[in-house]
A and B are shown apart, each in its own frame.
Chain A
Amino acid sequence: MDKDTKSARTQAEVPRKGALSNYKVQKTITTITFMLIPLLLLIVLTYIPATNMLIYSFQDRTQFSVNDSFVGFDNYLTVFSQPEYFRPLLNSLYYLAGSFIQLSLALLLASIICSKVRFANIFKGFIFFPYMINGVAIALIFVRFFQLGDGFITTDGALNSIIKLFGGEGVKFLSDPLSANISLVFVSIWRYIGFDFVMFMGAIQSISPDLYEASDLDGANSWQRFQYIVFPSIRPIIGLQMILAIKGAISVFEIPYIMTGGKFGTSTFVIQTIETAFKYNKVGLASAMAIILLAIIIIVTVIQKLIFREEA
């Protein structure tokens, strides 16, 4: 930020005399030619839909939109008065808890890798790679992974095979609300932990080696070093990742959509929104749901800004 202002000042201070007005015109022309398409896209694909969404959320409206009528806050009332619509929002709590586990694990793994272990690159590669795998592929892998065979048509997936190997009894991981949600959160951690891990590694590695040396001379142990050097320097990253985690948790979609289709109490607010719009053709109601999600995200973001400002 402060670099910005500095360079802006320098620019203004350089006198261009005769050429100046010429460059002013050029600036305008450049601005128009460079910005026309991006701005058009921004308006057409973001601001018009967002405005429509707000309008639709007060209407009784379908995809065909033959005769839509103004219904005031009815759609919002429907969402809040019917547990079926807002209950999926509570499932976000599973994912929220999951993201904190994910962040802690990622931090642990990142600090271990950064503490001069052998084969660090290989470990790093393995831990990160799932992030590169296609989401549909991951969902399919884990549908099978969690499967409980019936002995006629299906056989046990990897997890139940292991459980039975140790003499346990098969578990229907995906057909019970609690275990299904936990399983889905596990998949989500499996998929995304590599990203957090790489972020933390980047942050830890950017810490000056002098600090480490100093701590070594002081005779600090690994934990002390983490506590006094690593943690303070990566705090901003942790803050950022936490906000991303919260936003991610309230807008979970892909994994449960493909793996369970929202059955057995695994629906999420976004799945509910999309199904309301495209499956049940209630565009008005779905718009209200999207607006509610947007409101939550804005609140979270504002809180984040406030906290960050306090820290700075």
Chain B
Amino acid sequence: MHNTSTAKINNKIKRSSPIVVFLKYMVLVCAVVIVVVPLIVVFLGSFKSHREFYNSGVFSPPTKLEWGNYKTAFIDGKVLLGLKNTIIILVISCFGTILTGSMTAFVLQRFKNHFSSTVKWLFLIATLLPSISMQVTVYQIILKMGLVDTIFAPIVLYVGTDIISIYIFMQFLNNISISLDESAIMDGASYFRIYFQIILPLLKPAIATILIIKMVGIYNDFYTAQLYMPSKHLAVVSTALYRFIGPYGGRWEVIFAGIIITIIPMLIIFLSLQKYIYAGLVSGSVKG
């Protein structure tokens, strides 16, 4: 199967026996199959009519494309509404996180004093708290703030409890030479100007990293929205899909269409930003 490629690779990598090369590809192909099979089943099923879904094998392609499933998922399943709400939350939270995160990092990393080292510790300790369990008491705070069942509950939480971003910004700031600040100070620039005109533009790669982490995190988060936004009109992608289980419980073809709809935006983003996503996750995790 891999005869020709084996030969080429053998030239590149010395002393890899054909068996090893074969095994390598076997492992990779197996991994891909395991990833793809569940998804293929969903894709095929999403185009079948209800009758066909239950009368055909899971791997058999649909005889006729049933777009109605997608229509049902979009309209009755409120996936579109979910996408809209998710995007609103995503945009505001990202904006908020980038602003507060970089400002905090700027103060903590540039101003070395007791205050900043204490605050650093406060943030560090906060990363230890198990986020879902914390909702037991965070819920009552959000309730008292009057934010339960408003779109602001998740936004406040995503902005206010994102400590990883602060760490990423601090790490990037570490690599921005302090002499830049100093020469600006010599020119009489204020810290505000230094931050907005010098530091923030230089933090672009950090911002990209955080945007990617946030995007994946918020798009995939389920429980924050489930707990804080029970109203139908406040559904996000996750909760819209979760609420499918009730009314469409037995109609897998519609659920599958809903699943495909939610996967597509992520697939597009992934295909177009692949490199940045890998780099972003790596730097985010290692540095955070």
Contacts and interface: CB of A to CB of B under 8 A. Distances in A.
B244 to A, nearest CB: 8
Interface in A213-258: 216, 219, 221-222, 237, 240, 251, 253-254, 257-258
Given A115-B13, A133-B220, A270-B132, A141 B39 contact: yes
Interface stretch (B64-72, B87-95, B185-193, B203-211): B185-193
B220 A293 contact: no
Given A41-B160, A109-B31, A219-B15, A135 B220 contact: yes
Interface residues of B, number: 108
B133 A270 contact: yes
A30 B115 CA distance: 13
A112 B222 CA distance: 34
B27 interface: yes
A129 interface: yes
Instruction: Give the dominant DSSP class at B's interface.
Output: helix
Looking at chain A's contact residues, the main secondary structure is helix
A294 B178 contact: no
Interface in B218-233: 219-223, 227
Interface string B8-23: 1100111110001000
B128 interface: yes
Interface stretch (A43-51, A84-92, A95-103, A169-177): A43-51
A172 B68 CA distance: 31
B242 A117 contact: no
Contact of A45 (B9, B156, B216, B277): B156
A7 interface: yes
B59 A278 contact: no
Contacts of A129: 35, 267, 270
Interface string B233-252: 00001110110110000101
B58 A133 contact: no
Of residues A29, A113, A144, which shows the largest number of chain B Cβ atoms within 10 Å of its Cβ? A144
A137 B262 contact: yes
B38 interface: yes
Nearest to B244: A140
B31 A135 contact: no
B123 A42 contact: yes
B75 interface: no
A30 B192 contact: yes
B132 A195 contact: no
A39 interface: yes
Nearest to B221: A135
B216 A131 contact: yes
B36 A52 contact: no
Contacts of B178: 7, 10-11
Contact of A8 (B8, B112, B134, B278): B112
Interface string A272-308: 0110011000010011011001100110010000000
Given A109-B27, A136-B242, A50 B282 contact: no
Nearest to B160: A41
A98 to B, nearest CB: 14
A190 B34 contact: yes
Contacts of A157: 41, 58
Contacts of B122: 42, 47
Interface in B158-216: 159-161, 166, 174, 177-179, 182, 185, 188, 190-192, 195, 216
Given A41-B159, A277-B136, A294-B133, A134 B41 contact: no
Contact of B222 (A49, A135, A283): A135
A189 to B, nearest CB: 10
Nearest to B263: A133
Contacts of A42: 122-123, 126, 160
Interface in A31-70: 31, 34-35, 37-39, 41-42, 44-50, 52-53, 56, 63
B100 interface: yes
A76 interface: no
Given A23-B185, A112-B27, A137 B241 contact: yes
A108 interface: yes
Contacts of A49: 134, 137-138, 140-141
B31 A141 contact: no
Contact of B138 (A11, A31, A45, A240): A45
Nearest to A202: B282
Contacts of B250: 153-154
A42 B104 CA distance: 11
A118 B128 CA distance: 41
A145 interface: yes
B135 interface: yes
A156 B59 CA distance: 11
B59 A251 contact: no
A113 B237 CA distance: 33
A127 B33 CA distance: 10
Interface string A198-217: 11011100000000000010
A49 B134 CA distance: 7
Given A10-B178, A134-B241, A298-B128, A30 B24 contact: no
8 contacts: A19-B185, A30-B107, A38-B100, A50-B129, A127-B32, A137-B259, A198-B281, A298-B128
Given A121-B274, A144-B45, A273-B133, 5 more contacts: A11-B182, A27-B111, A31-B107, A127-B32, A253-B223
